[in-house]
Amino acid sequence: MINAKELKKAIEDNVKVLYRKTIDEASKEQVFYALSYAIKDTIIDEWINTHKAYDKQDAKILYYLSMEFLIGRALGNNIINLGARKEVAQVLNELGFDLTDIEDQESDPALGNGGLGRLAACFLDSLATLNYPAYGCGIRYHYGMFKQKIENGYQKEVPDDWIKNGYPFEIKRSEYSYIVKFGGNVRVENVNGKEKFIQENYGSVKAIPYDMPVLGYENGMVNSLRIWDAEAITNFSLEQFDKGDYQKALEQENLAKTLVEVLYPNDNHYAGKELRLKQQYFFISASLQRAIDKFKSHHSDIHMLPQKVVFQLNDTHPTVAIPELMRLLLDEEGLNWDEAWNITSRCMAYTNHTIMSEALEKWPIDLFKSLLPRVYQIVEEINKRFVMQIRDRYPNNAAEKEKKMAILYDGQVRMAYMAIVTGFSVNGVAKLHTEILKHQELKDFYEMMPEKFNNKTNGITQRRFLLHANPLLSDWITKKLGSDKFITDLPQLSGLKQYLNDDKSLEEFMEIKYQNKLRLVKYIKEHNGIDVNPDSIFDVQVKRLHEYKRQLLNILHVMYLYNKLKNNDGFNMYPRTFIFGAKAAAGYRRAKQTIKLINSVADVINNDRSINGKIKVVFIEDYKVSNAEIIFAAADVSEQISTASKEASGTGNMKFMLNGAPTIGTMDGANVEIVEEVGQDNAFIFGLSSDEVIEYENNGGYDPMVIFNSDSEIRTVLMQLVNGFYSPNNTEEFREIYDSLLKKQGHDRADVYFILKDFRSYAKAHEEVEKAYRDRRRWGEMALTQTACAGKFSSDRTIEEYVRDIWHLTKLRLDNAK
Ligand code: H53
């Protein structure tokens, strides 16, 4: 528990020691550091204590291996999980500062792109809250996700130097450094009749871990997020080297520098770059070496590893963990193949997050082999043995099955297949997604090894996305339920259903939404300079920019509404603010054009006085975890409009729901389960089903030209893309977007994402939204229903399912827990 007096003194002392200032002279940034160090001080004993308990209880440990952890700011979250929000705010007040202002000084650690990275962060929060021993293992990127600036409507990427001034919540732990080797060749030696594989002529780097505390909610548990940094190996004197070695030393220096420099900014798309594979191997090799050493410090028999350790592969990105663990067991521990295989396959589990083929990593064999020569030999052997199994099992169609399932095929290493073949569990991230995996994308594997497949519907942490993001609502819920148990038991929210018939409660709920809208209005004014009407419907789509997520459908619909307003005197429309927030991968042309389109449409519409502010379009610059919290709390409508079958789950949909915003969406990903919870009447569903999409994809039969020719309103909107209506200075600005909707794209048909196909039913769903919103009582009920039914979507539920079905962890007991 925080002691107010001690905290105050600690802040004042820290300001003195760090800056040689008294508190009244300190800047907000200085107070941020002073407070953060004070908070870290209060965490540290529990952090030590937790890890002592790991050892004492000989706990089985989960290693969540992920290239991304989109953790967001730590200070506010740590204070929440210490249960000290009010006390800390009070202390700061007394010192003349506001806690929210101070939190705003923290740079947002953006060590992830989007859903996958944020999910990993929510999982860490839930693991600690539920007392499960776990490490997150990742990379300490020196530059996280780029900061987005919008200049003249275009996205511009600015480097995110998040550790420039030091990050107060990390600890460098040089004593746990490891060497990671790249390249060279493998020499085989015969030692006492046994083959020994020796990698030589390699380049190497030193991997150094930095730990960040991950606090459970008021339970004294502090797990670690371990992110690896790279340093050149410098335990030699350069002078002793001849020219060749000097060259090599420089190369190693360079490798270390570039290795952890930057996060690849692609979400759901792999770039196939050598450096990316290096990053993957780097953090995997270091994490596994450390995990094995830790295991061995308590156990003498390496065969016991699966009883004490489990590795979860977050997508294909960490899959090189499989041959690397094999390597360590074979070459370092001296096991034979069968023993090593047995251990590895019982330690590894894989989560699939997408069916999009461009996101499933396939490495060119040549690249893989030259970078990881010994690891590649092991992959070859795994493949060889699996192919033998295929031939055994399918003697009549072995060649066809090999083509579909072999790990090495067509000059490539298919990482997902290696994960499925080796691991003991393969899970999808929402019911629909898992069904599609089993019966479409991975059906050959499902047929061969059905026992591995299971579903774990994603979830989100209510500590950040309700408690921290929306204090007004969480205080109200606490009052209404007479308890704050929902903070660790989200299904308690169903108790709110008793207020669905209570006008006064509905009004209170709506008033909270209004206050949160005012907070966002202020943010938008400060950051975008746009005035937004808080009485308008806040219709929000925030997520990565990707064609399958169909921000384009949304903005085309805005263009359509605007035309209706302009052309039809009788068209009456409830004021709407369409809010977008999205980063596009730096090299993703179409996505960047869509950002420009949204901003160009905003420019025209926001400056047209004739429509009386009925429509506003806002593009929020630099969408990230910290402003997301403000946005979710303020949304009236949640746009979840991916082409059915493409969004594996979505988690933003859950954050909107929790904060009382009904979904307008397709039957895709977790939307399906959201509708299951709230009922059809409390969601606005439109568009093709996933079966219909897949049917069209496989058998054709969709031609957007037919729609273009027959629907004049749609045609007008499309023509506005190429007649300069939104780009008077360059009529060609949006030509590619236009073409993508109407012209065949290489091997693909036009309108790959069925935008025109779904347009009319989307517009209809929007009419329903408006109708519902005009009935204030109905809307109140609908909005409260979202929050009341959100219980299922806590990541606490998801984690309990992983523990029950995959990880089999035991809760840690903490002697001096509060
Ligand atoms: O993972 C989220 C899902 C979401 C999916 C996303 C994702 C990435 O962010 C990156 C790569 C990838 O394969 C998948 O798109 O639907 O909610 C967490 O599971």
pLDDT tens-digit series, residues 38-49? 999 999 999 999
User: Are residues 134 and 127 in contact, defined by beta-carbon separation less than 8 angstroms?
Assistant: yes
Kindly state the average pLDDT of the residues 163-188: 97
What's the CA gap between 665 and 658, in Å, rounded? 16
Please determine, for residue 799, whether its predicted confidence score (pLDDT) is greater than 90.
yes
Q: Looking at 226, 353, 456, 513, which residue is catalytic?
A: 353
CA of 585 to the centre of ligand 1 (A): 15
Q: What is the pLDDT of residue 248?
A: 78
614 part of the active site: no
Please determine, for residue 237, whether its predicted confidence score (pLDDT) is greater than 70.
no
111-160 tens-digit pLDDT: 999 999 999 999 999 999 999 999 999 999 999 999 999 999 999 999 99
Please determine, for residue 443, whether its predicted confidence score (pLDDT) is greater than 90.
yes
381-427 tens-digit pLDDT: 999 999 999 999 999 999 999 999 999 999 999 999 999 999 999 99
Q: How confident is the model at residue 816 (pLDDT cuts 50, 70, 90)?
A: low
CA of 147 to the centre of ligand 1 (A): 20
What's the CA gap between 528 and 517, in Å, rounded? 15
Q: Can you identify the CATH homologous superfamily of domain 57-72+108-455+801-807?
A: Glycogen Phosphorylase B; (3.40.50.2000)
What's the CA gap between 548 and 647, in Å, rounded? 8
Closest Cα partner for 117 from 675, 652, 783, 803? 652
Please determine, for residue 65, whether its predicted confidence score (pLDDT) is greater than 50.
yes
Q: What is the pLDDT of residue 523?
A: 98
What's the CA gap between 518 and 758, in Å, rounded? 33
Pairing of strands 453-455, 178-182: unpaired
> What's the whole-model pTM score?
0.98
543 part of the active site: yes
CA of 354 to the centre of ligand 1 (A): 6
Q: Looking at 344, 434, 577, 651, which residue is catalytic?
A: 651
CA of 651 to the centre of ligand 1 (A): 9
Q: What is the pLDDT of residue 240?
A: 55
Pairing of strands 576-581, 425-428: unpaired
In this structure, the dihedral spanned by the alpha carbons of residues 404, 408, 412 and 413, taken in order and rounded to 10 degrees, is: 110
Residues of the chain with CATH 3.40.50.2000: 57-72+108-455+801-807, 462-687+751-791
669-719 tens-digit pLDDT: 999 999 999 999 999 999 999 999 999 999 999 999 999 999 999 999 999
Pairing of strands 537-542, 453-455: unpaired
Pairing of strands 537-542, 637-640: parallel
- Residue 287, burial from CB neighbour count under 10 angstroms (0-12, 13-18, 19+): buried
Closest Cα partner for 619 from 604, 601, 599? 599
What's the CA gap between 684 and 74, in Å, rounded? 35
Q: How confident is the model at residue 244 (pLDDT cuts 50, 70, 90)?
A: low
Q: Looking at 147, 480, 546, 549, which residue is catalytic?
A: 549
Chain mean pLDDT for the chain: 96
353 part of the active site: yes
350-394 tens-digit pLDDT: 999 999 988 889 999 999 999 999 999 999 999 999 999 999 999
517 part of the active site: no
* Residue to mutate (ligand 1; options 354, 433, 640, 668; most atoms within 8 A of CB): 354
Within 637-705, strands assigned E span 637-640, 663-665, 684-685
Q: Looking at 278, 374, 456, 655, which residue is catalytic?
A: 655
525 part of the active site: no
Q: What is the pLDDT of residue 271?
A: 87
Mention the CATH class of domain 462-687+751-791.
Answer: alpha beta
| Cross-sheet strand order for the sheet of 576-581 | 615-620, 576-581, 537-542, 637-640, 663-665, 684-685
517-534 tens-digit pLDDT: 999 999 999 998 899 999
CB atoms closer than 10 angstroms to residue 606 = 18
List residues near ligand 1 (CB under 6 A): 113-116, 119, 267-268, 315, 353-354, 359, 429, 458, 647-651, 669
Q: What is the pLDDT of residue 98?
A: 98
Q: Which atom of ligand 1 is nearest to the CA of 354?
A: 13
756-784 tens-digit pLDDT: 999 999 999 999 999 999 999 999 999 99
- Which whole-number Å values give the CA distances from 585 to 269, 317, 492, 544, 588, in the listed order? 9, 17, 39, 9, 5
Please determine, for residue 580, whether its predicted confidence score (pLDDT) is greater than 50.
yes
**Residue 254 or residue 127, greater confidence:** 127
Please determine, for residue 246, whether its predicted confidence score (pLDDT) is greater than 90.
no
Q: What is the pLDDT of residue 245?
A: 74
5-31 tens-digit pLDDT: 999 999 999 999 999 999 999 999 999
CA of 562 to the centre of ligand 1 (A): 33
705-732 tens-digit pLDDT: 999 999 999 999 999 999 999 999 999 9
Q: Which atom of ligand 1 is nearest to the CA of 268?
A: 11
User: Are residues 584 and 598 in contact, defined by beta-carbon separation less than 8 angstroms?
Assistant: no
Please determine, for residue 235, whether its predicted confidence score (pLDDT) is greater than 70.
no
549 part of the active site: yes
Q: How confident is the model at residue 818 (pLDDT cuts 50, 70, 90)?
A: very low
What's the CA gap between 315 and 539, in Å, rounded? 31
Closest Cα partner for 314 from 359, 374, 272? 359
Q: What is the pLDDT of residue 251?
A: 83
What's the CA gap between 618 and 595, in Å, rounded? 11
Instruction: Give nearest CA residue, ligand 1 atom 4.
Output: 650
- Which whole-number Å values give the CA distances from 296 to 55, 289, 302, 321, 343, in the listed order? 12, 11, 7, 18, 15
